[in-house]
Structure 1
Amino acid sequence: MKFSNAWLREWVNPQLSAQELADQITMAGLEVDGVEKVAGDFSGVVVGEIIGCEQHPDADKLRVCKVAGHPDGEMQVVCGAPNARTGIKIPFALVGAKLPGDFKIKKAKLRGVESFGMLCAQTELDLGDDSDGIWELPADAPTGTDLREYLQLDDVAIEVDLTPNRSDCLGVAGIAREVGVLNRCPVAGPEIPPVAAKIDDSVPVTLAAEDACPRYVGRVIRNIDITATTPLWMQERLRRSGLRSIDPVVDVTNYVLLELGQPMHAFDLNKLNGGIKVRLAEEGEELTLLDGQEVKLNAGTLLIADEKQPLAIAGIMGGLDSSVTDSTRDIFLESAFFSPLAIAGKARSYGLHTDSSHRFERGVDYRLQETAVERATQLLVEIVGGEPGPVHLRELEEVMPTERHIKLRRARVANGLGITMADDEIVDILTRLGLEKIDSDADGWTFLVPSFRFDIAIESDLLEELARVYGYNRIPSVSFTAELDIEPRAESKIATSALEQTLLARGYNEAITFSFIDRESAALFDPQAEPVALQNPISADLAVMRTSLIPGLCKALQYNLNRQQGRVRLFETGLRFVPAGEQLQQEPMIAGLAYGPRFAENWTGGKDWVDFYDVKADVEALLDNLGAGDAFRFAAGQHPALHPGQCATIFRGDVEVGVIGALHPQLQKQLDLPKTAFVFELSLEGLGEARVPAFKPLSKFPEVRRDLALLIDADVPAASVMDCVVEAAGETLTDLNIFDVYQGKGIDFNRKSVALGLTFQHPSRTLNDDEINAAVDAVVGLLEQKYNASLR
């Protein structure tokens, strides 16, 4: 909403400067976007009158004018404007005047004829966009008066960026009401007495879309003079509010919109076919709008129509065929109340945004229509004359908005605002805002909400109004105090950040990918799952919810490879979405991907590529955060997206918690990856709790190590061998590791040599050879029994 400070001062005039006023209404919740001058910087320009005009003797396009208005008498001015003629009043820049752009007027000689000044166009004074000729002022403009004084140009335009709930301030009347409340000033708008009807003509109105338009006011005005000129004061107020003057009828409807906040429209009465019908559009109907745009109307769009065709999109824009033109003699003024829900979004669907739609979408006072018609009639009769008919009101009371009564409790004011306000002040603030006190008791008051305040519906809204008008800066700031118990943090809970830091320390970078993927990727990586489809996806590439984090990491890998990044280490934490019957299971996961050389390029590093065991080591380092590495085991597994011979399932006890492996060769080919990528994915919930550290006394007695070299079948997993050793060795075995594996010359092709290091120690005494030999024999015996193992 943009308005002139001088216009507002005619309604309410507090003892504040324009900037102070702007600051005040900003603090009251009506944020001011800007305060700017209404005219360019110029001086030395007066109202002049051309009292003589002759053709220049040596130039066809120049005229020599005698201009009155200079303090020293008539002056000769050479002018090239095509509309320069005797008898018109114009802006006359005297010699020495300064115009916008730091342009100074000097005495000049044009084709041999002296010129003492300049006759100005609107654009030369930054007072409009008309540059076709000199600006013709009203005939009653006082000759010789300073133009800035005559037009009151020492004014500013204030632009307010209103929140959608404050549609009541989309007019000077609403802003003035707010300023009056904030400053306890009287608000006095123009008197709007009913204009008596001189004729009996009216247009019948049918409201077919009852919920969308329950109230419609119309009036016929005949025999207007459309050639009349809009008064300069009205043109200036429109210009300072960001609107240009078009013709008197349109200017008046725009003026009432800015003044009262009620959009209006005028039809050429002689272009109407029968009565007015407010209805919904039918599929296939078309309308040519005022801006010349031809639109196909969507079914359900609210229309103003006659008996034959649509005339306007209700609340948005009128049609060209029924518009007021230079030949118009009779008009039909309309002013309606449209439900905000019926207008919301409709303008946008046609690529439009108008001053009318901006107001109707937010809500217009549903009792303002008759006043707006009377005000428009008053102005039109003064400007273009005419014979008005009676005001015709069509209203459907059963679907009109109902009155709202709100109870405000005294105790609620103190509790809600944190301050104590006097009863008289509470009632005074709310009544000055337009609310009517209809009842009071020991607990509080009951107020009737005015029809222009759509945003007030509950008791809390009244509290907000009290705080806003009372002044936010007057409400003391109080620090809250509370006793907060610090929740103990269980040591067995491992933060996700700790896992992330482990991977970062091992050279991984965190990735954040979409929770949605395309259907093709979902089928490639997890063909057994049926992902949840989005009803309104961002794009076809993001159509379903991911059932794994691995597809997103692979896409990020492709992105990096396409940008010449040959060594990639990525990880991500996030949710995967797995359908579980009628429910959707959202499971937090951590996943990683490794691709490229094992080490970054350097002068000492090798050129080996990352392999399965590199990634397995990263996962084991990740699991070490839980302090329960022995609780996890890796077993050969199967996964549709992973290589059958390089895939392992990760278990904690008997519970599957994740998977690790190389991408399947076919999948690698479809992703166009030159080399193999290795991935892992773990369930954060499945990892379980960490093992809490516990003190264990150190043994003072020596430890004994025995090494065993065993021949065993090549397909026996090392983990199975180690489990068997632990089972047979007994409690004195304190450490076990595999330090060598050999296959090749001297050993059967189907066998392998595994070297084990066994460390024994007792906490309270020294072990003797017989005890250790017995433990070793038990290990060898069990391995022979289970896996056909033999000592090498």
Structure 2
Amino acid sequence: MQFPESWLRTLVDPAISSDELGHRLTMAGLEVEDAVPAAPPFSGIVVARILETTQHPDADKLRVCRVDDGSGEPLQIVCGAPNAAPGLVVPLARVGAELPGGMKIGVAKMRGVQSSGMLCSARELGLSQDHGGLMVLADDLAPGRDLRDALALDDTVFTLKLTPNRADCLSILGVAREVAALTGAPLKTPQAAPAKVELDEVIPVDIQAPGLCGRFGGRVIRGVNARAATPEWMRTRLERAGQRSVSVLVDISNYVMLELGRPSHVFDLDKLPAKQLTVRWAREGEKLELLNGQTIELDGDMGVVAAGEQVESLAGIMGGQATSVTLDTTNIYVEAAFWWPEAIAGRARRLRFGSEASHRFERGVDYASIPEHLEFITALIQQICGGQAGPLDDQTVGTLKEAGARAPVRLRTARCARVLGITVSTDDIASVFTRLGLPFTQEGEDFIVTPPSYRFDIEIEEDLIEEVARIHGFENIPDRPPLARATMLSQPEAEHGPHALRRAVAALDYQEVVNFAFVEAEWERDYAGNDDPIKLLNPIASQLAVMRSSLMGGLIANIVHNAKRKQSRVRVFELGRVFSRDPRVEAGGLSVRGVHQPQRLGGAAWGTAAEEQWGLPSRQVDFYDVKRDVELLFGARLSAVRFVAAEHPALHPGRSARIDVDGAPAGWIGELHPRWVQQAELAHTPVLFEIALDALTPARVPQADDLSRQPIVVRDLALWVPAGVDVQSLLDTIAATADNDPALSVLRDVRLFDVWRDPKAGADADKSLAFRFWLQDPVVTLEDARVDACMATLRDALANAHGVRLRT
């Protein structure tokens, strides 16, 4: 919200400085984002009138002007502006003047002719970008008058950063109400006497959608002069409020919207195909060309104003091109309506544009002042453009007609004190509500407040408490740190929390990323095999249209992003939620019916296995590097984890595995599918993993045990193993045999340390696997015979279960 201070002070003029005014507004919740002068600093610029012009003797594009600067003696100034003409009132930089940027004006000779000053364009004074000629001033300005004073250029332009709930402050009047409440200065509400009705013409309006429109007002005005000039005071206020002057009728509509917060629309009455309007929901397939030149196809949940069967306006958002006013317009229909915020919200954003009207209507616009505002618009039109007005037509329908006023809100004084942390007396609270213009009654220590028609942000008790805090002054609430007993909380040892897991993954040289939970639909199809993802009703971007069911898409995008920026090594992880359909899920405090939202931990590694250094050869990260990282995350529970060869849509079919924990699927690990590697134009293949957070959370509490004084015996066992037998099944057989045979209680650990295949043999030939066993008795030294017996038992178990044979 941008506006000049001078405009605000026409409605409320407190005896405080501009800086103090900005501070008061900010402390009341209307943050002043910027406060800048209406014009850059310059001096020595006065109003001047060109008396006569003659052609420069030695330059075709220069004129020699005699100029009255109010000093009594005309000045001779050489000027190259194409619009320099006798009688024109323009800015003059006298000798000694200083322009924006520090340029000083002196006496100069232009092609041999002396020039005592400079006539200025608007751009040279920093007032606009117009450099097509001299800046033309009003004829009634006296020569010699200081330009800053004549045009009020020492005005301050405020820019407010409003929160979405304060729709009432999207107008000068709304801000003036706040200033009056904060300072006690009297408020002057703009008003106009009812127009003299000289016509009996009324345009019938049929409101067929009460859920779209609660109130609709309008009137016919005939005989207007659309070519009339917009008054300078109005044009100046519009420009300093960030609005471009278009034409007088459009300017008046914009001016009333900015001053009173009332968006309105002016129809060219002669262009209406039927002299009857219908307010309804759009029909599928209808189209409308808007004022911005865009032709849109309407959806069934968009409101329209139609004349007969022809749609003429997009309700609460923008008018149509077909009935727009032009300089040839003579008869108009002025409309002002109340559109329910729920019926306007999101529609403009869906069409990928916004408007000042939709910005206000989707937040809530005063519905009670429509007749008064229409009279104000009529008065401005007749004052500037002339014309004869018809009677005012005003209809209230639906729930607005039935309810009339807003639902009252109760404020408990004790509750207010508890929330704010200070005691505010009932007299002070009553004073706050009175200053804000909030009607109220008292029931003991309670206040019953009826929100005004323009305050859509007051619905619950906390809203009223906020009003008390704002006007009482946030700076007047003392800083009192909360007092609480400092108790040390025990850290559960039997589980790994999200923060502990993040630290564990970061310790493995991964960097955390936070990706959007909404992703491209192609990611879900390609990386998750999900052809029916959960779609967003109102995506923030067209490509971010569905909810993710896997973290892999975002991690792959992180790698591609870094690879395109010449990064040679990327290791990232994310802990976040994924979303999938599940009819078994019920609605709850943190759940949505039919949507499963588990948390998962995902990671991706790409590039070299280790940072480049002289002590290690450079090699690309592979499946087993990442597999080791995943194993470390499970810690002591690794014995419950199994990596089972399986296929996943995002992963290489021969280099991927499903991660099972306690026999249940818990995640995936593997190289990215070659198809997606080629599509992403990656030089190397990334390795990814994704694990359910529930599977990583449980932990085993370490159990203390005595250290044995006996030596450890190490034995190796080399076996020929059939090609179809995996190592994990052999390790499972060894573990099961040790658990069932007391004699094998001395087995402490077993690891695979060598794999060999005959390069001349086929793919189905046996492979050689070598295992190393560690055995130790806690009490006595192991003898060779006992160790040999243990090894024989294990070898026989493997032979019987898997058909292995000893390699000799």
Alignment partner of 1:441 out of 440, 443, 452: 443
Matching residue of 2:13: 13
Matching residue of 1:393: 394
Alignment partner of 1:472 out of 471, 474, 481: 474
Offset of residue 435 of structure 1 = 0.9
Superposition pairs of residues 526-675 of structure 1, within 5 angstroms: 533-536=533-536, 582=584, 625-626=635-636, 639-640=646-647, 655=663
Offset of residue 464 of structure 1 = 0.6
Q: 1:724 to 1:215 in 2, by over 3 A?
A: closer
Equivalent pair of 1:638/1:647 in contact (CA under 8 Å): yes
Determine if the alignment matches structure 1 residue 432 to structure 2 residue 438: no
The CA distance in 1 between the partners of 2:749 and 2:242, in whole Å, is 85
Q: 1:117 to 1:228 in 2, by over 3 A?
A: farther
The CA distance in 2 between the partners of 1:125 and 1:753, in whole Å, is 87
Alignment partner of 2:462 out of 439, 460, 463: 460
Equivalent pair of 2:534/2:580 in contact (CA under 8 Å): no
Matching residue of 1:372: 373
Matching residue of 2:335: 334
Q: 1:720 to 1:434 in 2, by over 3 A?
A: same
The CA distance in 2 between the partners of 1:68 and 1:744, in whole Å, is 105
User: Which residue type is aligned with residue 302 of structure 1?
Assistant: G
Equivalent pair of 2:344/2:361 in contact (CA under 8 Å): yes
Offset of residue 367 of structure 1 = 1.7
Offset of residue 22 of structure 1 = 1.1
SS at match of 1:244: coil
The CA distance in 2 between the partners of 1:550 and 1:645, in whole Å, is 18
Offset of residue 450 of structure 1 = 0.9
The CA distance in 1 between the partners of 2:359 and 2:753, in whole Å, is 80
The CA distance in 1 between the partners of 2:303 and 2:767, in whole Å, is 85
Matching residue of 1:73: 73
The CA distance in 2 between the partners of 1:228 and 1:677, in whole Å, is 69
Equivalent pair of 1:200/1:390 in contact (CA under 8 Å): yes
SS at match of 1:70: coil
The CA distance in 1 between the partners of 2:614 and 2:665, in whole Å, is 39
User: Which residue type is aligned with residue 342 of structure 1?
Assistant: A
Moved more, 322-331 or 556-565: 556-565
Equivalent pair of 1:62/1:80 in contact (CA under 8 Å): yes
Moved more, 452-461 or 94-103: 94-103
The CA distance in 2 between the partners of 1:568 and 1:68, in whole Å, is 73
Superposition pairs of residues 37-116 of structure 1, within 5 angstroms: 37-52=37-52, 63-110=63-110, 114-116=114-116
Superposition pairs of residues 315-326 of structure 1, within 5 angstroms: 315-326=316-327
Equivalent pair of 2:3/2:240 in contact (CA under 8 Å): yes
The CA distance in 2 between the partners of 1:752 and 1:62, in whole Å, is 99
User: Which residue type is aligned with residue 208 of structure 2?
Assistant: A
Moved more, 324-333 or 291-300: 291-300
User: Which residue type is aligned with residue 453 of structure 1?
Assistant: R
The CA distance in 1 between the partners of 2:705 and 2:22, in whole Å, is 74
Offset of residue 61 of structure 1 = 5.5
Offset of residue 158 of structure 1 = 1.0
Superposition pairs of residues 160-309 of structure 1, within 5 angstroms: 160-280=160-280, 281-307=282-308, 309=310
TM-score for both structures, normalised by structure 1? 0.79
The CA distance in 1 between the partners of 2:485 and 2:558, in whole Å, is 47
Note the aligned Cα RMSD (angstroms).
5.2
Offset of residue 558 of structure 1 = 9.3
- The Cα offsets for residues 450-483 of structure 1, whole Å up to 9 and x where unpaired, read as 1111111121111011101111111112222233
Matching residue of 2:590: none
User: Which residue type is aligned with residue 380 of structure 2?
Assistant: L
Q: 1:296 to 1:112 in 2, by over 3 A?
A: farther
User: Which residue type is aligned with residue 325 of structure 1?
Assistant: T
Q: 1:484 to 1:220 in 2, by over 3 A?
A: same
Offset of residue 187 of structure 1 = 1.2
Offset of residue 190 of structure 1 = 4.0
TM-score for both structures, normalised by structure 2? 0.77
Offset of residue 171 of structure 1 = 1.5
Determine if the alignment matches structure 1 residue 383 to structure 2 residue 384: yes
Q: 1:181 to 1:92 in 2, by over 3 A?
A: same
Q: 1:67 to 1:423 in 2, by over 3 A?
A: same
Moved more, 73-82 or 404-413: 73-82
Stretches of structure 2 that go unaligned for 5 or more consecutive residues are: 586-594, 759-764
Equivalent pair of 2:191/2:372 in contact (CA under 8 Å): no
Moved more, 170-179 or 478-487: 478-487
Equivalent pair of 1:728/1:775 in contact (CA under 8 Å): no
Equivalent pair of 1:780/1:790 in contact (CA under 8 Å): no
Offset of residue 238 of structure 1 = 1.7
**Greater radius of gyration (CA):** 1
Equivalent pair of 1:267/1:322 in contact (CA under 8 Å): yes
Offset of residue 597 of structure 1 = 9.5
Offset of residue 95 of structure 1 = 3.3
Stretches of structure 1 that go unaligned for 5 or more consecutive residues are: none
- The Cα offsets for residues 181-208 of structure 1, whole Å up to 9 and x where unpaired, read as 0111111234422233244344333333
Equivalent pair of 2:305/2:314 in contact (CA under 8 Å): yes
Offset of residue 285 of structure 1 = 4.4
Q: 1:345 to 1:710 in 2, by over 3 A?
A: closer
Equivalent pair of 2:49/2:68 in contact (CA under 8 Å): yes
The CA distance in 2 between the partners of 1:218 and 1:413, in whole Å, is 43
- The Cα offsets for residues 97-121 of structure 1, whole Å up to 9 and x where unpaired, read as 3333434444455566554444444
Matched pairs, number? 773
SS at match of 2:213: coil
Equivalent pair of 2:757/2:767 in contact (CA under 8 Å): no
User: Which residue type is aligned with residue 125 of structure 1?
Assistant: L
The percentage of counterpart residues that share the same residue type is 37
User: Which residue type is aligned with residue 21 of structure 2?
Assistant: L
The CA distance in 2 between the partners of 1:553 and 1:191, in whole Å, is 60
